[in-house]
Structure 1
Amino acid sequence: MKVLDLHCRQGHVFEGWFASEEDFQRQLRDALVQCPLCADSQISKRLSAPRLNLGARQTTAEPAAPVTDGAAASSPAEVSGVNLQAAWLSLARKVLAATEDVGPQFAQEARRIHHGQAEERAIRGQASPDEAMQLLDEGIAVLPLLLPQAAKETLQ
């Protein structure tokens, strides 16, 4: 198993687990590796130190840098950035768990709920900017929220 420190063009840092270097390269080539925050598929490896499992040895070394997502951060700004990414991903997962995906029928279903023609419930889906503006003009509260495909799947 290969654990890689990865980042996207927007600078989001995350970890990826792959069966081998070849598996990583294949998934990268097929655009299967995406940033869990923005869905960018232009991913690069970051420099990372290998982890050697040498058994249960006691160590007297200094404590490591703060760890938040399995990767040691090099600066307070990076720690807060990683914490922000983790908090956003946690929020996105809570939204996914608490809402029903109605897909491209979002605008129609939101109107049906608003007019009492469908059961009131929390929904999510896709709507064009024009459809969202029309819903707002009709007094139907909507909130655009970017949910990358990677956030919709179970991540380790």
Structure 2
Amino acid sequence: MITFALRCEPAGHSFDAWFRSSEDFETQNARHLVGCPVCGTTSVDKALMRPAVSGTRRETGPEDAAKMMTALQQMAREARARADYVGPGFAEEARRIHYGETPARQIYGEASPPEVKGLVEEGIAVLPMPPLPEDKN
């Protein structure tokens, strides 16, 4: 779909209209099917349009990716400092907290993809944390 800025000839009313293509506009306009929504005239032509230019987009380079990973790792460190480690029992403990069977608190641990999917399906919010260099020690 293309949006055209249009203008009626007698009164100079400006308006926009959508067409499948430039040819579609030309065909409809030649058959007097395009009318001004203000005065109703079918004497319509394209008006000057400003180009639809999207904003500049900068590609993410290796340095940017490294900075983002460092920031994510720092957030993971802070989350771990405020949470209890529950190990491979994460999914079970998250359910117990969610259903009020144990006091609410922040936890982290390990869960398999099927376990994570099950938690999400139950409406339990989970987020993956990036690996930390110190985890390999």
Q: Normalising to structure 2: TM-score of the pair? A: 0.48
Higher relative contact order structure (alpha carbons within 8 Å, sequence separation ≥ 6): 1
Q: Normalising to structure 1: TM-score of the pair? A: 0.43
- Larger Cα-atom Rg: 2
